[in-house]
Structure 1
Amino acid sequence: MIIDISRTLNQNTPTWPGDTPFSYELSWSKAETGSVNVGQFTTSCHTATHIDAPYHFNDSGLTVDQLPLDLYVGDVLVVDVSTKGRISPDELKLVDLSNVRRVILKTSAWKDPSYFPTEIPILEPSLGQFFRENGVELIGVDLPSVDPLESKTLDAHHAFEANNIHILEGLNLEEVEAGEYRLTALPLKVEGADGSPVRAILETK
């Protein structure tokens, strides 16, 4: 079974305050061209379900087109941390991360998908080292960011990069239970980009 864990992109999709909202419109209609509809869309790279490239927060970091694609396809463990306001290694110490390369944290904190959240759980930067020591290379969240919304230092982003852990944000996990799945969440091949929307799915094993 395939579970779509992407958020819908439309004119009502919430985005970071002040960032470029998503829009789609027809440039030419079939009536005008006589053969096809041709549309265009405009959006921030960090709207809805997306990956962060390290270049997003590090001028010397990898851009989207430089990322290893195998990170975004493969087995993943979904961990339910929906009762936690702060997520640290202590909350995950009982989770078996043996042979786990990808982890998705289900926080259930983004209650209304039509509005940008005003508060989200805190992911402690110490998770970076913890995940690296356990062999994790990709962290996904059902939040717009792995850092507090008001953060300018982006400590968790930098801690994950320092430990070679890549970031997938804005997942929709409402219909997903904790457990093992196969993830596909490929970014667009946009040269020089700091992030990219993805169509993220989970397949039951």
Structure 2
Amino acid sequence: MQKLWDISPPVHPGTPVFPGDTPYQQQWSATIAPGCPVNVSAITLSPHVGAHADAPLHYDERGAAMGDVSLDAFLGPCRVVHAIDCGPLIEWQHIAHAVNATLPQRVLVRTYATAPAEWDAGLTAYAPATIERLADLGVLLVGIDTASIDPADSKTLESHQVIRRRNLRVLENLVLDDVPEGDYELIALPLKLTTADASPVRAVLRAL
């Protein structure tokens, strides 16, 4: 069997969320007991908890909701690039070593040596110009192992606006701690949430 890397963080009540966002919560609607053969729970969470895909609706008031987004970008060859501890922004020089004529249409960048268990207000984000250059090379999807492709305190979301203008897709909150640089098959399908601004994904990489 081909090797799989699970690049999704665990989701539970302690999973860090963006300040002000809805954390994961779970209540039991039914539990196995005499007269009840099943456990059934109800969950509440932001669609941005854990590994997730942003829909255009997240950063564009007229953008498509998650259920209307094509799945093509979330499935196919990808390249994992290491830019560990590169600073506040992923600049072109941090990933240029891994860019060549065979660059796949999906690029995931690792910035943490070890993914944090707590909210990181100083998270690394993409420089907008880096996303522009990746789009120029035919990239359809960018991913990152932090909670946002923009700085946590950004009010203009410049990298999200590049994504909007260039019609790219984005994955955030990936866990790339154990993934060597190189090429893989990405499988990270969002749920068909017809009115949502994002969707959780179970993101995995498969050896080519």
Give the alignment's TM-score, normalised by structure 2: 0.93
Q: CA offsets, 1:134-171, max 9 Å, x none?
A: 01000010000000000111000001221121110000
> Equivalent residue for 1:201?
204
- 1:102 corresponds to 2:106: yes
CA distance in 2 between counterparts of 1:52 and 1:110 reads: 23
Q: Which runs of 5+ in 2 are unaligned?
A: none
> Equivalent residue for 2:21?
19
CA distance in 1 between counterparts of 2:34 and 2:204 reads: 36
Determine what percentage of the aligned residue pairs are the same residue: 35
Give the alignment's TM-score, normalised by structure 1: 0.94
Aligned length: 204
Aligned pairs for 1:82-101 (under 5 A) are 82-85=84-87, 86-94=89-97, 95-96=99-100, 98-101=102-105
> Equivalent residue for 1:49?
51
Root mean square deviation of aligned Cα: 1.5
Q: Which runs of 5+ in 1 are unaligned?
A: none
CA distance in 1 between counterparts of 2:156 and 2:140 reads: 22
Shift of 1:176: 0.8
Q: CA offsets, 1:154-194, max 9 Å, x none?
A: 00000122112111000011111110111111111111110
- 1:161 corresponds to 2:141: no
- 1:71 corresponds to 2:66: no
Q: CA offsets, 1:92-126, max 9 Å, x none?
A: 3342153511000011166422x111202242111
CA distance in 1 between counterparts of 2:101 and 2:81 reads: 10
CA distance in 1 between counterparts of 2:172 and 2:66 reads: 14
